[in-house]
């Protein structure tokens, strides 16, 4: 089984802005990769390309195939995408939102019940998104992402703008579901501690045009402490060695962009 | 309860004002509510009222259905495709501005003084209005939600049914609502000009005799039918489609 392999020689938007250049990385099957980089650097563009939403780029993309063990009638898609906003359909109940992405929802009632319970949403299955808190809406979006047993899950800063305890509970659920199903995950975040707490490997991107400048393997054992504060020390030591890391530059080439 | 009380009170006030005015005027051109009621009862017992009401209602339903189907399809197409919109927009503006009367006369001249011409004339009058409302909705489609359908590779039908169409409902509802009142007004003109049944035909006869009581009788009867239509069909439909709004 292959994982994800991305090789983007260049991605230029119609306006002429080059967002990605010589950006390449891969992820092993079941690997949890976090992507960190300066805002506006093209992390979302990268996810859109990986998702197949954006096909207008120069390069190659290999995505993991649909898992062979996947149940019948789940979904024709091998990937799930959790966006920055939950993007639930406001006119569908929580349950209907989850069932929406299944090709034969009626045969998977039990699976929907199970994931609703796992997410603590069993009492809200008939509620509409407008009746839920921000944290619960994200729980529903997370349930929708996992119900179709994806082999690749793309996440674009999914836990921003919610309070810390809620975010921590969501991270816990994410890791539980990932442990159960083992999809390859690409998790974009601007919070280094969040990346360190969750991922097997953290990939750092440069400023625009973005490429991979640095990788850090998180050797911590699992299950992990998901309180982001406890990962501050590792983040600090990384930033001590490479102060410009989050701005997208390594020592000695902060202004220069890609060294050639 | 308070709301329906206010509605009833407003109608009652209108009735009282009418009675007072009619009593003061003492004229055949402003009959009292009682005189009008008598005409309604007389028309109902002779059967003419039901004949004319049902003829008009059938024309309203037929032309409304045609106009909604054609208008919604065209509006979705124009909202989704820039090229289509560029080609059809000038025609739409012309269609919006051709007087209803011209369309009715031309329909009768070209299609003959028949039922088909009557229904087509009304539908053609109404289609541009539906197109405009639907196009507005189709342009405001939220692409963030459409992307969800794309990522999860939903079938075209499911995407259309559960992601696209619900975003159009508010626009379709208002198009339907405004459409219904427009359609029945035009149907009366069509009947007045070239049909020998229907409320419009009855009104033409009363106009010929300057019989204002008869005109009032038919106006009230048909407006009531449309109010019932609105209460039993449009409002429950709207409630159902809006139940997710908190």
B150 domain-assigned:
yes
Q: Is the residue at B190 inside a domain?
A: yes
Please measure the distance between the N-terminal and C-terminal CA atoms of chain A and give it in whole angstroms.
Answer: 35
Residue of A53, A75, A85 lying closest to B150 (CB–CB) = A53
B118 falls within a domain: yes
Q: Do B246 and A81 touch (CB under 8 A)?
A: no
Average pLDDT rounded to a whole number, residues A163-170: 91
For residue A101, what is the nearest residue in chain B, using CA coordinates? B152
Q: Which of A77, A93, A128 sits opposite B152 (nearest CB)?
A: A77
**pLDDT at residue A60, rounded to an integer:** 87
Rama region for B198: left / alpha / beta (φ>0; ψ in -120 to 50; rest) = left
Is the per-residue pLDDT at A79 higher than 60? yes
Encode B107-141: b = buried (16+ Cβ within 10 Å), e = exposed: bbeeeeeeeebbbbbbbbbbbbbbbbbbbbbbeeb
Residue B99: inside a domain, yes or no? Answer: yes
Give me the domain span that covers residue B167: 54-245
Please check the confidence at residue A252 and state whether its pLDDT lies above 70: no
Question: Which residue on chain B is closest to A96 by alpha carbon?
Answer: B162
- Cα A190 to Cα A171: distance, rounded to the nearest angstrom: 15
Tell me the C-alpha distance between A192 and A235, whole Å: 7
**Shortest alpha-carbon distance between residue A97 and chain B (Å):** 10
The minimal CB distance from B153 to the residues A77, A87, A93 is found for A77
Percent of chain A with pLDDT over 70: 93
The residues of B whose Cβ lies within 8 A of any Cβ of A are 144-145, 147-148, 150-155, 158, 162-163, 166, 169, 241, 244-246
Whole-number pLDDT of residue A231: 87
Domain-located, residue B130: yes
With CB atoms and an 8 Å threshold, state whether A92 touches B244: yes
Residue B246, pLDDT score? 64
Nearest residue in chain A measured CA to CA from B155: A103
pLDDT for B216 beyond 50: yes
Question: What pLDDT is stored for residue A85 in this prediction?
Answer: 92
A54-75 mean pLDDT:
78
- State the pLDDT at residue A69: 61
Report the pLDDT averaged over residues B177-194: 89
Kindly tell me if the per-residue pLDDT of B13 is higher than 90.
yes
**SS3 of residue A36 by DSSP:** strand
Q: Residue A73 has what pLDDT?
A: 66
Is pLDDT of A250 > 90? Answer: no
> A53 and B162 in contact by Cβ < 8 A?
no
Q: How confident is the model at residue A15 (pLDDT cuts 50, 70, 90)?
A: confident
Checking if the pLDDT of A72 tops 80, the result is no
Number of independent structural domains in chain B: 1
pLDDT digits over B47-100, tens only? 999 999 999 999 999 999 999 999 999 999 999 899 999 999 999 999 999 999
Chain A contacts of B152, Cβ < 8 Å? 75, 77, 80-81, 100-101, 148
Residues of A in contact with B160 (CB under 8 A): none
The pLDDT, as a whole number, for residue A259 is 42
pLDDT of residue A256: 42
Q: What is the pLDDT of residue A255?
A: 44
Q: What is the mean pLDDT of chain A?
A: 87
CB B153 within 8 A of CB A52: no
CATH number at residue B164: 1.10.3720.10
**What ipTM, to 2 d.p.?**
0.86
Assign A211 a pLDDT band (cuts: 50, 70, 90): confident
Q: Is B104 part of any domain?
A: yes
Which of A163-167, A192-196, B32-36, B242-246 has the least mean pLDDT?
B242-246
Task: Determine, for residues A148 and B155 on separate chains, whether the beta-carbon distance falls below 8 Å.
Answer: no
Assigned domain for B220 exists = yes
pLDDT reading at A96 higher than 90: yes
């Amino acid at each position: 089984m292959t994982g994800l392999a991305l090789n983007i020689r260049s991605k230029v938007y119609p306006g002429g802005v080059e967002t990605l250049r010589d950006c390449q990385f891969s992820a092993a099957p079941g690997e949890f990769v976090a992507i960190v980089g300066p805002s506006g650097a093209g992390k979302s563009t990268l996810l859109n390309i990986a998702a197949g939403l954006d096909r207008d780029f120069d390069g190659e993309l290999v995505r993991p195939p649909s898992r062979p063990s996947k149940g019948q009638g789940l979904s024709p898609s091998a990937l799930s995408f959790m966006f920055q906003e939950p993007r639930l359909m406001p006119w569908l109940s929580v349950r209907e939102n989850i069932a929406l992405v299944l090709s034969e929802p009626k045969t998977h009632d039990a699976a929907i019940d199970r994931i609703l319970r796992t997410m603590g949403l069993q009492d809200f299955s008939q509620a509409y998104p407008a009746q839920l808190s921000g944290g619960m809406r994200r729980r529903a979006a997370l349930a929708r992402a996992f119900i179709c047993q994806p082999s690749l899950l793309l996440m674009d800063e999914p836990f921003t703008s919610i309070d810390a305890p809620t975010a921590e509970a969501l991270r816990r659920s994410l890791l539980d579901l990932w442990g159960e199903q083992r999809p390859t995950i690409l998790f974009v975040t601007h919070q280094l501690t969040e990346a360190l707490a969750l991922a097997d490997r953290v990939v750092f991107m440069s400023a625009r045009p973005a490429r991979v400048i640095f990788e850090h393997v998180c050797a911590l054992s699992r299950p992990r402490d998901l309180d982001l504060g406890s990962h501050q020390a590792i983040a600090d030591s990384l930033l001590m060695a490479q102060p410009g890391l989050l701005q997208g530059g390594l020592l000695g080439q902060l202004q220069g962009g890609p060294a050639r | 309860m308070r709301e329906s009380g206010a509605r009833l009170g407003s109608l009652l006030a209108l009735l009282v004002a009418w009675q007072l005015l009619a009593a003061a005027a003492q004229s055949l051109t402003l009959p009292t509510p009682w005189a009008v009621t008598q005409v309604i009862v007389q028309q109902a017992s002779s059967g003419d009222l039901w004949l004319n009401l049902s003829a008009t209602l059938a024309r309203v339903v037929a032309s409304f259905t045609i106009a909604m189907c054609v208008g919604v399809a065209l509006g979705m197409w124009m909202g989704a495709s820039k090229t289509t919109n560029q080609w059809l927009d000038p025609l739409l503006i012309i269609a919006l501005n051709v007087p209803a009367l011209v369309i009715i006369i031309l329909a009768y001249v070209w299609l003959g003084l028949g039922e088909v011409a009557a229904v087509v004339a009304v539908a053609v009058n109404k289609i541009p209005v539906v197109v405009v409302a639907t196009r507005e909705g189709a342009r405001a489609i939220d692409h963030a939600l459409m992307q969800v359908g794309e990522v999860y590779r939903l079938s075209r039908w499911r995407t259309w049914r559960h992601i696209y169409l619900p975003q159009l409902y508010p626009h379709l509802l208002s198009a339907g609502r405004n459409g219904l009142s427009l359609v029945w007004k035009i149907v009366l003109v069509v009947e007045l000009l070239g049909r020998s049944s229907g409320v419009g035909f009855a009104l033409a006869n009363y106009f010929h005799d300057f019989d204002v009581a008869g005109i009032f009788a038919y106006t009230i009867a048909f407006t009531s039918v449309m109010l019932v239509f609105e209460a039993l069909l449009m409002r429950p439909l709207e409630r159902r489609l809006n139940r997710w709004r908190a």
